[in-house]
Amino acid sequence: MMTEAARKRLTLLMKAAVTLALLAVALRWVRLDVLAASLRRAQPGPLLAAALLLVLGGFAGAASWFC
């Protein structure tokens, strides 16, 4: 039988593995040449707003996984 500390550690490692696997899959969908061309033509205001929303969403997602 597992101790409570070992169970928490295993759960944390499994959550981290799932998060990294999903990140790897998402990054495989990004074509860097298309992304670079799109960013060259982008306006800075909406781009910064989108980046801020993405970062805040990432923190919210991490909080839901690790709390």
In a domain, residue 50? The reply is: no
Q: What distance in Å separates the CA atoms of residue 63 and residue 19, rounded to the nearest whole number?
A: 12
In a domain, residue 21? The reply is: yes
Q: How many domains does the chain have?
A: 1
Identify the DSSP state of 43: -
In a domain, residue 26? The reply is: yes
pLDDT on residue 9: 92
Residues contacting 57, CB < 8 A, separation 6+: none
pLDDT on residue 3: 92
Residue 10 has pLDDT above 90, yes or no: yes
pTM across the whole model = 0.53
**CA-to-CA dists, residue 50 to 16, 21, 61, angstroms:** 25, 24, 16
Domain containing 26 equals 1-30
